[in-house]
Amino acid sequence: MSIIAINYVQAKEIMGFNPRHYAVLIMGNSPFQLIMSTLVFLLFANIRIKHNKLINLYASATLGVYMMHTNYLTKDIIFDDIVKMQRFENSYTIILEIAVALVLYFILANIDLLRQKSFNKVEVKIVNKISKQLDRINVIFTNYVNKK
C-alpha cells in the first residue's frame, strides 16, 4: 500500500519529489501500515478455520521469519543482495512483489522449522534448568520474606 502511495505521489509530482515529505509513507510508523494491518486483522478476526497441520506448522515459524527478515544483520543481505529490492522501487509490479514476499516467507519458514527440529530439545533442557534455578531462588526469597 505504501509503495502504491509513493508511486502515486511521484506520478502526480505531488510534493515536488522531496523525499522528506513522502518518506512518512514508507517508514515503520506509516499510516498506511496501520490501516492495512488493522484491516487484515479485522478480515481474519472472525474466520473460523478448522485445524490444519500444515497451517499450524508454518504458523509456528512466523516469529522466526519475522526475526530473520528484520534483524539488522540479515535485513541488508536478504533485501539488497539476494532479493535486490531496488529493482522494485518506482515500479507497479505488485504481483511480483507479492510473489517475492511469499517465496521469502516459505524459505525463511523452512529455515526456522529446521531450527525448531534441531534445537527444540536443547532449548527445552536449557529452559528447564533455568526454571529450576528460578524456583530455588523463589523458595529462598519467599522463606526469607516470611521470616521477617
pLDDT digits (tens, 9 = 90+) for 85-113: 766 665 566 777 788 889 999 999 999 99
pTM: 0.57
Q: Give the Cα separation of 16 and 11 in Å (integer).
A: 11
pLDDT class for 135, splitting at 50, 70, 90? Answer: very high
Q: Is 26 exposed, middle or buried (0-12, 13-18, 19+ CB in 10 A)?
A: middle
Tell me the pLDDT band of 14, cut-offs 50, 70 and 90. low
Cβ distance 109 to 64 under 8 Å? yes
Tell me which DSSP letter residue 87 carries: G
Of 90 and 70, the one with more pLDDT: 70
Rg (C-alpha) for the chain, rounded Å, is 23
Q: How big is the chain, counted in residues?
A: 148
Cell numbers linked to 117: 527440529
Share of the chain above pLDDT 70, in %: 73
DSSP labels for 96-146? HHHHHHHHHHHHHHHHHHHHHHHHHHHHHHHHHHHHHHHHHHHHHHHHHHH
Residue 27 has pLDDT above 70, yes or no: no
Whether the predicted pLDDT of 2 surpasses 60: no
Q: Which three cell numbers stand for residue 21?
A: 515529505
Residue 58 has what pLDDT?
A: 92
- 62 has a pLDDT exceeding 60: yes
Quick check: 3 pLDDT over 90? Answer: no
| Contact present, 65 and 108 (Cβ < 8 Å) | yes
CA 132 to chain centre: 32
pLDDT greater at residue 82 or residue 8: 82
